[in-house]
Amino acid sequence: DLEERVFNFAAGPATLPAHVIKKAQAELYNWGGSGMSVMEMSHRGKEFLSIIQKAEADLRALLNIPENYEVLFLQGGATTQFAAIPLNLVEPEDTVDYLVTGSWGDKAFKEAQKYSKPKVVWSGKAEKYTKIPSFDGLEQSPDAKYLHICGNETIHGVEFKDYPVARNGILVADMSSNFCSKPVDVSKFGLIYAGAQKNVGPSGVTIVIVRKDLVGNAQGITPVMLDYKIHAENKSLYNTPPCFGIYMCGLVFDDLLAQGGLEEVEKKNKKKADLLYNAIDASGGFYRCPVEKSVRSLMNVPFTLEKSDLEAEFIKEAAKEKMVQLKGHRSVGGMRASIYNAMPLAGVEKLVAFMKDFQAKHA
Ligand code: PLP
C-alpha cells in the first residue's frame, strides 16, 4: 500500500505515519464497536471522553508533564495563541520580551502589540534569521512579565537546542514545528503551545501546556474562547472541540509511546537530519544551507542551489520521483525539506540519493 503514497516534505499540514492513518481508516466507520464514527460522537459521551482522556494521559506520559500544568486542546491554530498569550498572562500596560529568530517569532511579537507592550530583546532579521544569540549577553527587560521564543522556526530552519532562562521565570515557547520531536523539560517553561499539523495530527487542534498558576488572570476583554481558565475548568470541553483531530492526535501519541518515547524519536530525527545536512555540506557548495550549524533544525531543512536557476527543475524532477512539497517558503525561496517525526528514514535516503544524481547531472 505504501506504493500509493508519496514522500511528503511539506512544512504543514505534513505527513503522518502511514500505519496511523490506516488505523484511523479501520476505525472510521465504527469506532470501538460504538456503531459510530468519531466524527459523529457527542463530545460529552463516554466514548469521546475516553478518547480525549487517553490523548491527554499519553501526552503527559510522553513529555513527562508535571501535575502543576494544564493540558488544553484548543482551536484557532498557533496564530490564535499569539493573541491569547498576552491576553491571559499580562495586562495591557505590561512589558513582555520577544526573542525573534524567524518569521513566526516576529508574527507573535506583532500580535502581542495589541494586548501588551512587547519588546524585541534580540532579532536575527539582519542576518536573515540564520542564528540564535548566546543567552549570556541577552538583555532582557527588567520588568518583562515573560520571555517568548519560537522553539523551531519552520520557515528559516533555526531551532533552539537549549533554552534561555526568563528573567522573571516565565518562558513561553511556540513549539508548533518541533512538538514531540524530542524530550523537553516542561518545568523550564511557563507555557508551551503548538498547532498539531506538523508532528502530531491534522490541522484544527492547538495544544497549550500551561503552568496552573498562570491561569485565571485573563484581561477583561479576553473572548471566552481564548480564556485558558474556561478551557481548563471544562477539560477542553467548554464548547464543541475538534473531536476528530483530537482523536488523531491521540493515535499519534499512542504510536510515539509505542516507539519507545521521545528519546527514541529524537534519535531517529537526528539520524535523518544528519544524513541530509551532511549531504548538503559535502556537495562542495552545489547545495548550501545558510543556517549556522549549531542551531540547524532537526525538522525543517532549508537549502539553496548555487545555480539557483536550477531550483525549479530540482523541485519538478523530485516530484516525478514521488518526493513532493520541496519548494522553500515564498518569503525565502530555494528548497525546504521538512522531515518531521513521520518522515521515514527511507524518504531522506531517497532524497539524498536524488540530490547526488542531480548534482552529477548538472555539475
Ligand atoms: N508557529 C509556527 C512555528 C508555525 O510553523 C506555524 C505554522 O506553520 C504557526 C505558528 C502558525 O500556526 P497555525 O497555522 O496553526 O496558526
Taking the CA of residue 154 as centre, how many other CA atoms within 13 Å lie in the half-sphere pointing to its CB?
A: 25
pLDDT at 2: 65
| Distance in angstroms (rounded) separating the CA atoms of residues 191 and 186 | 8
Bond preceding residue 13 cis, omega within 30 of 0: yes
Q: Is residue 93 classed exposed, middle or buried when 0-12, 13-18 and 19+ CB atoms within 10 A define those classes? A: exposed
Contact 337, 301 (CB under 8 A): yes
Is residue 102 within 6 Å of ligand 1 at its C-beta? no
Q: What is the pLDDT of residues 150-192, one digit of tens each?
A: 999 999 999 999 999 999 999 999 999 999 999 999 999 999 9
Is residue 78 within 6 Å of ligand 1 at its C-beta? yes
C-alpha triplet 64, 175, 61: angle, nearest 5°: 15
Provide the residue count of the chain. Answer: 363
Q: Which of 101, 104, 298 to mutate to test the pocket of ligand 1 (most atoms within 8 A of CB)?
A: 104
Is residue 242 within 6 Å of ligand 1 at its C-beta? no
Is residue 338 within 6 Å of ligand 1 at its C-beta? no
Task: State the Rg of the chain over Cα.
Answer: 21
Contact 70, 228 (CB under 8 A): yes
Q: What is the pLDDT of residues 75-91, one digit of tens each?
A: 999 999 999 999 999 99
Work out which ligand 1 atom sits closest to the CA atom of 151: 3
Written as tens digits, the pLDDT of the chain (363 aa) is 567 899 999 999 999 999 999 999 999 999 999 999 999 999 999 999 999 999 999 999 999 999 999 999 999 999 999 999 999 999 999 999 999 999 999 999 999 999 999 999 999 999 999 999 999 989 999 999 999 999 999 999 999 999 999 999 999 999 999 999 999 999 999 999 999 999 999 999 999 999 999 999 999 999 999 999 999 999 999 999 999 999 999 999 999 999 999 999 999 999 999 999 999 999 999 999 999 999 999 999 999 999 999 999 999 999 999 999 999 998 889 999 999 999 999 999 999 999 999 999 998
212 among known catalytic residues: no
| Distance in angstroms (rounded) separating the CA atoms of residues 340 and 200 | 9
